[in-house]
Structure 1
Amino acid sequence: MKKIIVITGILALSLSSYSQDSLSVYLEMAGKNNPGVKAAFNQYLAALEKVPQVGSLPDPQGSLGFFLQPMELLNGNQVGSIGVMQMFPWFGTLKLAKDEASLMAKAQFSLFQESKAMLFYNVKASWYKLVKYKRGIVLINENIALLESIEKLALVKFQSPAGSSSGSSSGSSMQGAPSATGNPGAMGGMNSQAAASVQPQSGMSSVTSGGMGSKPTGLADVLRVRMEILDQKYQLTLLKDQLKTEEVNFNLLLNRDQNLEIDIPDTLKMETLSVSAMVVADSILSNNPMLAMLDAEGQSYSTMADKSRKMGLPMLGVGLNYMVIQKQAGNQSMMNGNDMVMPMVNFTIPVYRKKYTAMQKEARYLHESTLLKSEDMKNMLLLEYRQFAQEYSNAERRVELYREQADLANRTANLLLAGFTSTGTDFEEILSIQYKVLEYGLKHIEAVADYNTAVAKAEKLMNAVNY
């Protein structure tokens, strides 16, 4: 009798340095190429250009005038004048305007950081899905290979004379339960008596039914395995479609050709938080970029209120007027024909106070609105932290649970396979336990992916971006 080799195992929690470097490379690539992040950075650069705009003096004013007929003066005839004037806002107004623009640029930079943190979270989440799908494809392929081996063995037992006397594992029909792969292990030396002891009662009635029922039951076993193989091939096709869609999503996050190949590792390790899970909430409130943005906006509006108050004060102007004088015939004055220079000082009179009062009220309302937004954002972040803590703890428990259950299912499958190779019994139990092995393997890798996604979410909320 051919020896059956169980081809699968549960997910190994290790990751090569190459695959980890691949994710780092992809994150760096995304940060450089993603159009959303680049747009946010350009908005920050544009906000920086506001600082010199609002911090500069008004343009000087110049004037040029001439008389159609010279105006007679005591010292000659004035033919024209040239003037220049520079206005100055009230003391400290320009500094406040620059501070306001700088704070708004700081708020825009926080938006850029939020955009980058969100991008890295999406890239990591997509990466973990890619590994999950690829590993799931491997597990299902191994399960199909095992089912094909079981099918061949069942067919041999059905066709052999010995198969008619031994019978099959059960006469009851399976209700379409999918199968799963087992864990690698030696099958020799197992106690077939122990394997047969877990045989269900329906299998006992099948064994005692005599030779007339054994052949149809054996054929039913073969057909049942083929049904499971077809079902697993269908699930494999669905998983490959999901993998392809996620590959397109991943490539688009990197802003590159959606059909480019991605270096996906075969295994996935559990990531670690950069800080203790107990201090994540404090770190979020201290480092979250959205809170930093609202804080900068609040300071900007406070500065805007001070600037509006100073804008309601007079503006001062300093200038010079140069008058061109033409000599008068017969004028004996020593100043006859001498040009005149007149220094000038002017100022604005801000008597229409409504607009300045409205500007100050606007700034106060905006500042109060920002404070309320900040309080609301803190509440939302605390809720997100609570959701993270739940997802993190739940995924951690699931990883351990499915690791242990997969190990137990593998050991049970090995015992049942040993009994089947020696006595031909427990066939239905083999299909059932193989389904459990595959189910636990897929759930285990999903739990690891969910765990890593929760870690990535915490890093996003804390703005722990190191690329």
Structure 2
Amino acid sequence: MKSLINTILFSMLLLGSFQASAQEQLDEYLQTAAENNPGLQASFNEYMAALEAVPQVSSLPDPQIAFGYFINPVETRNGPMKFKLSASQMFPWFGTNGAKEDAANQAAKARYELFLEAKSKLFNDVRNTYFNLYFSNTAIAVTHDNLELLSSLQKLAIIKVEAGTSSLVDEYRIEMEIGDLENQLALLRDKLLAQQVMFNKLLNREREDQIDLPDTLWDEDLPLPKADIRDSILSQNHQLLSLDMQQTAWQYKQEAARKEGAPKIMIGIDYTIIGKGENNMSGKDALMLPQVGITIPLYRNKYRSMINEAVYQETAKANEKLNKSNVLETVFEQSWKDFQDADRRITLNKNQAKLARMSIDLLETEYSNTGANFEEILRMERKLLQYKLELEKARSDKQAAVSFVNYLMGK
């Protein structure tokens, strides 16, 4: 008894180790996709470009330097004015550049959330394609096993026909079944090849690169209860976070637009070179003149339009966020339904396949003895194949639903 318990525990440990190893292999593929996928790299570069906008909007305008030469020198009591140098710097109203910088920072953060969204979507695409690969690969193995079963049954049918205890029609029927399965097997192989190319291109690898797949897909449940998942989606989804930051950016742009309508301050200096003249009694050869000026924003329509644009854009982002929240809740409900359905189908098809296998064993024994119920054997063989394929499809669908829910939560 103790030996039996140890054997069971060892088997469970071995299964857990295999599942962990298979998931670790998928994690390695995800890491490769994150490093190599060109679409994700493009999204990251767009974020880096958005960061470069921050110093652009927070800098002062370039200072102005001018040089003037008097073709006909103007005589002064100190002497004739030869040429003049001037320098000036324009300063925006207090806080204008700070508001622009805050807006650019928020826009860059929004761009970063879109990069994270692209990464989450890429990971979901990689996982989904991996699960589809698993199903196609397993379906090929199941169909091949079923062909071997039919071949064995065909040999039995030939023996029965030669013995005169069965009709030649039985052999024809089984040949038809084998032909259908061989066609289905060829279709599955073509499908697997297309999925392999898709998977490798998501990782930006060569299309023929090998992909390691588990013999049996792991069974992972959703990470949180339903209500907690919904709250997590509404608080962590990268699309919603990006829209929230875009809305904040437009709030700062409103503030910047209001300050743009305030006067701008100019500070400068003129330096005039004075030559020697008959009346240059003071000995001065230069004249320095400080300057202070302001711009007068008389044309207010432009600034009002800038403010109104920012207000409308902020409202638009708020409405877009609300709409996206509603869409995400709807999509989550569908994903929750898909998860529940796949979980039920796993249990159902396990039981159905077991019953079908038992029925086939009984029917084959009866056929060996009496030659009866051959058509029923073929029907149950089709049922067994269907249940096995549906079981693997349910496993794949369940993990795809888990993956999509994690994507909605920003993982």
TM, length-normalised to structure 1:
0.82
| Mapped partners of 2:19, 2:319: distance in 1 | 47
Highest RCO, 1 vs 2 (Cα 8 Å, sep ≥ 6): 1
1:445 aligns with 2:388: no
Partner of 2:248: 299
| Mapped partners of 1:276, 1:27: distance in 2 | 26
Partner of 1:356: 303
Deviations 1:14-66 (A, max 9, x none): 75444322211111111111111111111100000000000011111111111
Deviations 1:430-449 (A, max 9, x none): 21111111110000111111
1:105 aligns with 2:54: no
1:407 aligns with 2:410: no
- What is the CA-CA distance between 1:123 and the residue it aligns to? 0.8
Partner of 1:312: 261
Amino acid at match of 2:302: K
| Mapped partners of 2:289, 2:101: distance in 1 | 34
Partner of 1:175: none
Deviations 1:147-197 (A, max 9, x none): 11111122122223xxx3xx34xxxxxxxxxxxxxxxxxxxxxxxxxxxxx
**Equivalent of residue 133 in structure 1, options 136, 151, 161:** 136
Partner of 2:365: 418
Summarize the alignment of residues 52-451 of structure 1 with structure 2, pairs less than 5 Å apart: 52-160=55-163, 164=164, 167-168=165-166, 217=167, 219-329=168-278, 331=279, 333=281, 335-451=282-398
| Mapped partners of 1:278, 1:399: distance in 2 | 24
- SS at 1:431's partner residue? helix
- SS at 2:60's partner residue? coil
Amino acid at match of 1:116: K
- SS at 1:262's partner residue? coil
| Mapped partners of 1:447, 1:272: distance in 2 | 13
Amino acid at match of 1:454: A
Shift in CA distance, 388/51, structure 1 to aligned 2, threshold 3 Å: same
Structure 1 gaps, min length 5 = 1-12, 169-216
- SS at 2:143's partner residue? helix
**Equivalent of residue 51 in structure 2, options 42, 48, 51:** 48
Amino acid at match of 2:397: D
If each structure's helix is expressed as a fraction of its own residues, which one has the higher value?
Answer: 2
Structure 2 gaps, min length 5 = 1-14
- SS at 1:328's partner residue? coil
1:38 aligns with 2:49: no
Shift in CA distance, 337/70, structure 1 to aligned 2, threshold 3 Å: farther
- What is the CA-CA distance between 1:318 and the residue it aligns to? 1.3
- What is the CA-CA distance between 1:265 and the residue it aligns to? 2.3
- SS at 1:58's partner residue? coil
The answer to whether the 8 A contact 1:312-1:350 is kept is yes
Larger radius of gyration between Structure 1 and Structure 2: 1
| Pairs aligned (count) | 396
- SS at 1:265's partner residue? coil
Percent identity for Structure 1 against Structure 2: 39
| Mapped partners of 2:143, 2:227: distance in 1 | 38
The answer to whether the 8 A contact 1:77-1:337 is kept is no
Partner of 1:207: none
Partner of 1:459: 406
The answer to whether the 8 A contact 2:342-2:398 is kept is yes
- SS at 1:158's partner residue? helix
